[in-house]
Structure 1
Amino acid sequence: MDVLPLPPKIDARREARSLFWRGWGVTEIAAELPLRAIMGEDGKAVPRATIESWKQREAWENAPMIRRLEDSLEVRYQALLAKDKLTGADLTLLDALGRQVATLAKIRRYEAPGGHEGDLNEKVANRNAAPKKKAKPNHFTADQVAELRRIFESELFGYQEDWLASSSLRTRMILKSRQIGATWYFAREALIDALETGRNQIFLSASKAQAHIFRGYIVQFAKRVGVDLKGDPIILTSELIPEDEPAAELHFLGTNARTAQGYHGNFYFDEFFWVYGFEELNKVASGMAMHKKWRRTYFSTPSTIRHQAHPYWTGERRNRRVKKADRIEIDVSHEALKAGRLCEDGVWRQIVTIEDAEAAGCDLFNLDELRIEYAPDEFANLLLCQFVDDSLSAFKFNELVAAGCDSLVEWADFNPDAKRPFGNREVWAGYDPQESEDGDNAGFIIAAPPTKPGGTFRLLEKHSLRGLDFEQQALFIRTILARYNCTYLGVDATGIGAAVFQLLGKADSNGNVAVRGLTKIEYSLETKATMVMKAQNLLRRGRVQWDAGWLDVVSSFLSIKKALTGSGRAITFKAGRSEADGHADLAWAAMHIFANEPLDGQARQQTSMEIFE
């Protein structure tokens, strides 16, 4: 048997370290080195204290395992190479040791900055080097769908659980308070249904801009499981949809009947009590879900009892088409429907007021604040689900909803997301203040004036301001106007409005100049009556447009009613403007804009501006 000789010259420190990593103690190493004829640089045996100092300075005990393995392999490899004659077994061992050295080198590359799994596994490296397949867009795994459903069901309020329990029914009709999460809920319900069943989902709203609220909620929900949805319509697939079946489609539509035709699937009709021409549009919408597998969901805040959808809600429309003996009576009172009920005509109905929502766990509101912010009749309509009798209003509901349009589709020259939404084209603006800093909202509206006599006013942008003092409101108005070429701003200069008017009419230390076209509007019985008559005339002639999703503007106009003055000798127009119940701010702001056109609509009057020193 061959004895492996030591190399002719061996470094004492290196040999001591190697022995230490192989489990030798410092004292044992000091005794062993002379036996192996390994001496220090002075030719004498290395003292124990020297070996101990090497150990401490170089932190032998803390060396990583890979470093110790490298040392052992190197010692063994060099010992074999030092033999004069190598046997077959030696060559086999050298090959094995070489492979281990290569493996440790790969580990070193993996642990170095920028290392990756391909440094350890050639197959992974080759796979990564090949062109990568793009992830399938808008695709969900079964686990992702299951996680969406878990999230969905865990975040519901009590009344939303009622909606989930009724989701398999063919037709649902829900009268609900504003801002209780209906659009949010139905967006999620529809996405999960599409992923689990492959059924198409159609969202029908007063305008495409409003329909895109559904889309925003759906995109946000999908991101919860790492899927970034793209497209309009959204075309999506999931592992739960068989590959031989078409992908599910999510369409987001305005109420233009021409664009609403040709689709099929479950449909969700948002704010159906506020759309113009409901009868015609509902024929198209019903056709989308004619097959028995499709579901129909209508949900809305109430508008007026004169709306075309009201007979559908009460069941009266069905009774008109059947014999007297076959007619049915449907109790649509709040008491009968607050828990939800499958009615005699096969339609599941429910009424959810803001008080019902709070009782069912919704903690998003402060009802005391809302009662201050909204006038009693507005609170009853928008939050307690009570219909309005528009016969008492100064404006006709049908004329107001007829002013709604699909602004994203019809106004190609307006982009609300651009730095200059209307380019350099002329706009007018109107501002209506609150009565006091603690009172109702202030309203501010931007409009495109008619480009020719008898043309159309287009309301482009609206803001309700609450909780801002006069200085903050003036700054806000300046900020918005900086995005437009505004040539007229009508301001009610009473109350807080007087201070806002004064600030807008002055240059300030921030370099702001007086607002161009600033015009003071001083209210009187005659002024108010003239503005209302002007607005009535414009609406009657179809000369006003706003986005059909602006339900608050419709509600604002409806809230203005005829009333006697305090003396009882004259008629005026009121909207309950007080600290407790002020509203109609948006309507008055719009009428300040209309007032810049003479009553005959044939020529613009000259604007004026007052400057305060």
Structure 2
Amino acid sequence: MNDARVPPIVPPAYVQFDPRRHARSLFWRGWGISQIADEFALHGIANEKGDAIARSTIESWKQRDRWDDAPSIRKLEDAIEIRFMALVAKEKKTAGDLAELDSLGRQIATLARVRRYEEPGGHEGDLNENVGNRNAGPRKKPKKNHFTEEQCAELKRIFLAGLYDYQRKWWDEKDQRTRMILKSRQIGATYYFAFEALIDAIETGRNQIFLSASKAQAHQFRSYIVSFAKLVGVSLTGDPMLITSDLRPAEEAAAEFHFLGTNFRTAQGRHGNFYFDEFFWVHSFEELNKVASGMATHKKWRKTYFSTPSTVAHPAYPYWTGERRNRRRKKADRVEFDVSHAALAAGSVGPDRIWRHIVTIRDAEAGGCDLFDIDELQDEYAPDEFANLFGCEFVDDSLSAFKFNDLIACGCDSLADWEDFNPDADRPYGSRSVWAGYDPQESEDGDNAALVIAAPPLVEGGPFRLLERHQLRGLDFEQQAEFIKAVLKRYNCTYLGIDAKGVGAGVYQLLAKPGAMPNTAVAKIEYSLELKAGMIMKAQNVIRRGRLAFDGGWLDLVSAFVSIKKTLTTSGRNVTFKAGRGGNDGHADLAWATMHILMNEPLDGKERPKSTMEIF
């Protein structure tokens, strides 16, 4: 074997880790027994008793399970399954990821046909249903969006085998009439509830309705559900999707799946279980919740709210604390609600019959989720931001330069509302002009950099529509410049504003040189107290007037703006604006990048002449 080892394929987060299976998978990919043992020791992989796994143990697994004798098809199935599950677990999927999932699903189906062919009684028709027993009568077409009893059992087995402890708790409480879950980011909630809803529809025939801040965000559920079904060879289609199974009477109506963003009004009159994703981040929560609650009026339906925390000013906050229930009652009828982490870490039913649960990142880690390096995250985020994003603590935006409720009012359903924008096209915005803003890293090992692309107002006083945003970290100035050029190549970018301090100076020089960015006015922005104050003033005006529009699922953009606070300079004589990261001032990168765009329009709302410029 060559010295260059085949890289390990790490099982996805939601698959219960089995060292024996993982060792077998590495062996089938060309690893030696000693190399596997060294890899396990390096990553602290131990047995159930917590002891290190010795080379002799792995060798015994190899002999007892006859790894060398496994047929090639079994090795292929193992590799495809691990890759498929890793892509399913990925929170934000690219178009390439979705295409690969589709391809892997077809490969799984092909290998299943080969399996049937190799079994006793297998025939050519198992490999190709167009040949084989030509004298047989016409084959009965498989039912569309239908699960057999065997497929139902296998899908549920896969699901339950991969749950973390906190997800198992959600499963155990799935029959609560109302669940409200406050969670850390990136702990697999959307994945879990998509799978839970699919299992429930298969077993009970109940409709499932998913509500999100935008259609794109709601379709993340759909993407998961379609991927899950492919694990057992079922291809789900339709929107809404109609699902049947052998577990339900044939004459019973199919279970319906609806994926809704801000077009929720179209669902009025429908009924079913509903899942309200990131409900602490949606605009017009009261109105949206009335429609959602109406969908689940009958006692057989279930309501599930889950979200990361936003601010105490959000209209959903009184629902979480119980204040809304109490303020509608006389003083004698009011009850105390304990919504502290200590009270809700294990989940609890409150006086309003709502089952509440809090899952911080440390709770997730204790429950088996090993996706995070918490120490690294604490270095990356300021303490108050870490507490909000991962510690389930609400933000008080009273000191922020931007108000949370003003920002979420700017959220929209970009896929449904913007007919002239197609993010999957080679030219997403055609030949029309776009503006871009770039906020670089403070240093090559500093905070995140951010690139934002916007469609400028089509008419005077019209909205700025944010089309794309990107964050990158750990790149030098040349790599950052190449990234910007690659992204903007898909657009007709006529203006690019760059903060030219630190690493940004190198990025600016590379992009501003003749021929680097044809037809683009590259603006060199050098911050001062006066310039920063002007940028904030301009952005506040645009946001308050509702002239900023972005997809409602861009929670990171909202957080970036809210994190900017008014403060005093070191001398104490002047006012400035900061958003600290670990003691530095370089955070809120998405917000600053957006403001680099907005400042290209003067305060009076009239577009400035296009030219290469320097702003001091």
State the alpha-carbon separation in 2 of the partners of residues 582 and 191 from structure 1: 43
Distance 1:257 1:248, change over 3 A: closer
Residues 201 and 265 in structure 1, CA contact (< 8 A), matched pair in contact too: yes
Question: 3-state DSSP class of the match of 2:559?
Answer: helix
Distance between the aligned counterparts of 1:116 and 1:304, measured in 2? 60
Is the 2:283–2:405 Cα contact (8 Å) retained in structure 1? yes
* 2:437 alignment counterpart: 430
Aligned match for 2:549, one of 522, 545, 548: 545
Of residues 159, 176, 187 in structure 2, which corresponds to 1:169? Answer: 176
Deviations 1:343-385 (A, max 9, x none): 1211000110001101111001111111122222211111101
After superposition, give the CA deviation of every residue in 1:299-335 in whole Å (9 maximum; x if it has no partner).
0001111110011001111112222222111100011
- Once the two structures are superposed, residues 108-156 of structure 1 have per-residue CA deviations (whole angstroms, 9 ceiling, x without a partner) of xxxxxx97699xxx993212xx554432211110111111110111001
TM-score normalised by structure 2 residue count = 0.77
Deviations 1:422-477 (A, max 9, x none): 11111000000111111110010000000111000000000011121111111111
Task: Report the CA distance shift for 1:135/1:605 in structure 2 as closer, same or farther (over 3 A).
Answer: same
Contact kept, 8 Å, 1:432 with 1:443, in 2: the verdict is yes
Which of residues 417, 421, 424 in structure 1 aligns to 2:424? Answer: 417
1:262 shift after superposition: 2.3
Matched, 1:348 2:345: no
SS at match of 1:597: coil
Amino acid at match of 1:558: V
Contact 2:379 2:582 in 1 (8 A): no
Q: Which has the larger radius of gyration?
A: 1
**Partners of 2:552 and 2:134 in 1: how far apart?**
57
In the alignment, which of 311, 321, 327 is matched to residue 314 of structure 1? 321
Could you list the runs of 5+ residues in structure 1 that have no partner in the other structure?
1-113
1:295 maps to which residue?
A: 302
Deviation at 1:605, TM superposition (A): 3.9
Is the 1:535–1:591 contact (alpha carbons within 8 Å) kept by the matching residues of 2? yes
Q: Give, in whole Å, the separation in 2 of the partners of 1:607 and 1:340.
A: 59
Q: Alignment partner for residue 193 of structure 2, among 186, 194, 214?
A: 186
Q: How far apart, CA to CA, are the structure 2 residues paired with 1:344 and 1:577? A: 39
Q: Counterpart amino acid of 1:416?
A: P
Aligned residue in 2 for 1:144:
151
Provide the secondary structure at the position in 2 that maps to 1:242.
Answer: coil
Task: Answer with 447-456 or 228-237: which moved more.
Answer: 228-237
Alpha-carbon distance in structure 1 between the residues aligned to 2:286 and 2:247: 37
Question: Amino acid of the residue matched to residue 483 of structure 2?
Answer: F
Tell me which amino acid in the other structure corresponds to 1:479. A
For residues 115 and 442 of structure 1, what CA distance do their matches in structure 2 show?
56
Aligned with residue 596 of structure 1, among 570, 595, 600: 600
**CA offsets, 1:205-257, max 9 Å, x none?**
01010001111111111111111111111111111121111101110000344
Which of the residues 252, 262, 283 maps onto 1:276? Answer: 283
Structural mapping, 1:415-494, within 5 Å: 415-494=422-501
Alignment partners' CA distance in 1, 2:267 and 2:414: 16
Q: CA deviation at 1:606?
A: 3.1
Task: For 2:344 and 2:249, locate their aligned partners in 1 and report how far apart those are by CA, in whole Å.
Answer: 39
Q: Measure the CA separation in 1 of the matches of 2:436 and 2:266.
A: 32
Partner of 2:271: 264
Tell whether the 8 Å contact from 1:529 to 1:572 is kept in structure 2 after alignment.
Answer: yes
Is 1:335 the counterpart of 2:342 in the alignment?
A: yes
Structure 2 equivalent of residue 78 of structure 1? none
Can you give the 5+ residue segments of structure 2 that lack an aligned partner in the other structure?
1-122
Give the root-mean-square deviation of aligned CA atoms.
2.0
Give per-residue Cα distances to partners, 1:11-65, cap 9 Å, x unaligned: xxxxxxxxxxxxxxxxxxxxxxxxxxxxxxxxxxxxxxxxxxxxxxxxxxxxxxx
Counterpart CA distance in 2 for 1:296 and 1:401 is: 23
- 2:212 equivalent in structure 1: 205
Preserved CA contact (<8 Å) 1:255 1:275: no
Match of 1:570 in 2: 574
- The one-letter code sitting in structure 2 at the alignment partner of 1:406 is D
Alignment of structure 1 residues 394-405 onto 2, 5 Å:
394-405=401-412
Identity of aligned residues (%): 70
Distance in 1 between residues matched to 2:354 and 2:126, nearest whole Å: 59
Distance 1:123 1:378 in 2: 63
Instruction: Give the conservation status (yes or no) of the 8 Å contact 1:261–1:288.
Output: yes
- Residue 126 (structure 1) aligned with residue 135 (structure 2): yes
How far apart, CA to CA, are the structure 2 residues paired with 1:328 and 1:227? 49
Instruction: Describe the SS at the equivalent of 1:125.
Output: coil
Q: Distance in 2 between matches of 1:117 and 1:236?
A: 26
Cα separation, 2, equivalents of 1:221 and 1:180: 18
Listed one character per residue, the Cα deviations across residues 465-505 of structure 1 (whole Å, up to 9, x for unaligned) are 11211111111110110000100000000111111111112
Whole-angstrom distance in 1 between the partners of 2:545 and 2:343 = 42
Q: Give the Cα–Cα distance (whole angstroms) in 2 for the partners of residues 390 and 454 of structure 1.
A: 27
Tell me by how many angstroms 1:554 deviates.
0.3
What letter matches 2:196 in structure 1? E
